[in-house]
A and B are shown apart, each in its own frame.
Chain A
Amino acid sequence: MSRKTFARILLYALMIAIAVIMATPFVYMLSIAFKTPSEMIAYPPKFFPEGLYLDNFRQVWAKSNLSHYFLNTVIVSVVKTVLVVMVAALAAYPFAKLEFPFRDALFMLVLATLMIPYQVTLIPLFVLVKKIPLTGGNNIFGVGGTGLLNTLWALIIPGFVSPVGIFLLRQFISTLPDELFDAARIDGCSEFVIFSKMVLPLIKPALTALSIMTFQGAWNDFVWPLLVTQRPSVWTLQVALSQLQTQFSGSEWTQLMAGTVISVIPLLTVFMFGQRYFVEGVAFTGIK
């Protein structure tokens, strides 16, 4: 066969091998979700289930009231992602392309917020969220009620600024040629128009990447939602699923995996939907 065909076969083989390495735990997770509990104790452990046992899904959905928490998590993740991307894009543009006093210092400040381990800011933030004025029964001094605790907002507002997002978009915007913007400015366009009509469309892949990352982070968040949602009505999916895994009463592994699979479907959906924007050919054709 020709060298080209051989190279292609090699490429496919490599890609498939890597796919196996990357996806095996995921497939195993799927496989447990479809097993009956009795299959779990087969020795030696079998990788694939005997049949497609759907009861785990039915049980975990109903018994754990998953539909409610699913909805909560969807709301939180979508709203948070939209906010994060909007705020990050707005902030990234000046850091990348405009000149203003203290620009570099402010940028380092933004990055610096990533450097404090969350374990020590967790409780102060909790107290802060409880004390936000004029919410949850609080007066103007933030006293008297419970602030944003036990609301879905507590899961959205404290995290609406993403320093990683600002950094990421700043990097991508900085690769865009200055001449493009200078030309537009000479033409009389305002910075806002430049931002919304020129910059945003050109960094679609980066916006997509950030959206995927943020959605996933919000979806999988566990410790913070556990702390601030003390009423089951505002639980997220992760908090609800964590109850299936306990030290003392044993874990419902098959149901836990079924719940986890359900929880993972939106993440994969968002990814598959988003990765279309990674298709080649988005690059612009040239400078005017």
Chain B
Amino acid sequence: MPYGRYRKDQVRIAYLFIAPAIIGLLIFTFLPVISALLMSFTEYNVLTSPKWIGLENYKRLFSDRDFAQGLKNTLYYALGTMPAKVFLSLFLAFLLNQNVKGLPVFRGLYYAPEVTSMVAVSIVWLYMYNPQVGLFNTILRKFGIPNQAWLFNPKLALPSLMLMGVWKNLGVNMIIYLAALQGIPRMYIEAAELDGATGWQVFWKVTWPLLSPATFFIIVTNLIGTIQVFDQIYVMTNGGPANATTTAVHQIYLRAFQQFHMGYASAMAFCLSIIIFALTALNFKIRKAFDY
């Protein structure tokens, strides 16, 4: 857009308003990122001086089987949990928007996973997944299905963690949808109802489109977030059994802080960032295409 098209005072105010944020990001995020980028071209164990090795680290990435496994698990995890996160949190937000007694209490209880320490969460979930006496197997046995090994079965371990991940992070998404629901003027809903629309039609034609900014936010931020999933993996399985649940960031962590290969870990991190960036840009393109 040619500069003349803009209103001068708007432009000035705009830059003024975004200045604190941009400056803050430049100093506290970009500088470290540049540093990490430079590190990715070195062999660096942090304790001694770095050694420049050019693109060696990036070349090594291509034959790193553990990283490949981590990437595979990561994408599976991120894409697999996304629909559940969006729809379940919207569902919960809806429930929490109903006219029921004790609504604040319900809201607090539904938010509880967010404030429960990872330690307590892992104890309960480990118990539920216990192959011998856990809740899930007890239920399965009632249907005649034999005991599953869950976290000890390389095929089931990741889905088990995904279920737990969805459960733990519903709270934040839920309050965003709650906030978004408040912003929908009652009159649109009432107008549609007056026109004779059913509850379902009201939802699809009125509510869902109006929620789209919130939905877009949830999809983009959750995607960026779950692709970097780490804490849950580290606490519950540490990547096991036998690398079945390792993720990209878990691999980055191991290389950086256990193998002292900070340079290699940085290269891995940038590789992951490019993937995240591509997926996010894709998200934006999709949104523009369906323009809403």
Contact = CB atoms under 8 A, between A and B. Distances in A.
The reply to whether A and B meet directly (CB within 8 Å) is yes
Interface of A: 11-12, 14-15, 18-19, 21-26, 28-29, 32, 44-45, 87-88, 90-91, 93-95, 98-101, 103, 106, 108-117, 119-121, 123-125, 127-128, 157-161, 163-164, 166-168, 171-172, 174-175, 190-192, 195, 203, 205-206, 208-209, 212-213, 216, 245, 256-257, 260, 263-264, 267-268, 271-272, 275-280, 282-286
Contact of B213 (A117, A171, A208, A277): A171
Most chain B CB within 10 A, of A98, A115, A127, A192, is at: A115
A264 B117 contact: yes
Interface string B9-25: 11101110110111011
A116 B35 CA distance: 12
B95 A98 contact: no
B142 interface: no
Contacts of B27: 128
A191 B13 contact: yes
Contact of A88 (B21, B39, B96): B21
B179 A209 contact: yes
Contact of A93 (B5, B17, B113, B214): B17
Given A87-B21, A216-B115, A28 B120 contact: yes
A205 B228 CA distance: 28
Contact of B277 (A21, A115, A160, A278): A115
23 contacts: A22-B109, A45-B127, A91-B22, A100-B15, A106-B22, A111-B280, A116-B33, A117-B248, A117-B249, A119-B257, A119-B269, A120-B269, A161-B24, A190-B13, A203-B183, A205-B183, A245-B119, A260-B119, A268-B111, A275-B108, A276-B104, A283-B182, A283-B185
Contacts of B248: 117
Nearest to A21: B167
A62 to B, nearest CB: 21
B176 interface: yes
B184 interface: yes
A208 B180 CA distance: 11
The interface size bin for chain B is: 35 or more
Contacts of A128: 27-28, 31-32, 35
Contact of A90 (B18, B117, B182, B252): B18
A220 to B, nearest CB: 8
Contact of B113 (A26, A101, A127): A26
B266 interface: yes
B183 to A, nearest CB: 6
Contacts of A95: 18
B265 A119 contact: yes
Contacts of B119: 245, 256, 260
Interface string B211-228: 001101100110010001
A119 B14 contact: no
B246 to A, nearest CB: 14
B175 interface: yes
A90 B269 contact: no
Contacts of A99: 1, 5-7, 10-11, 14
Contacts of B220: 111, 167
A137 B170 CA distance: 45
B114 A216 contact: yes
A125 B111 CA distance: 32
Contacts of B9: 191
B283 to A, nearest CB: 10
A160 to B, nearest CB: 6
Contact of A120 (B7, B30, B266): B266
A198 B32 CA distance: 37
Given A120-B269, A121-B29, A264-B117, 10 more contacts: A26-B116, A29-B116, A108-B281, A120-B252, A159-B28, A166-B21, A172-B183, A191-B17, A275-B178, A285-B185
A286 B187 contact: yes
Contacts of B39: 120, 124
Contacts of B106: 15, 19
Contact of A272 (B17, B108, B224): B108
Contact of B186 (A14, A25, A127, A283): A283
Contacts of B124: 24-25, 28
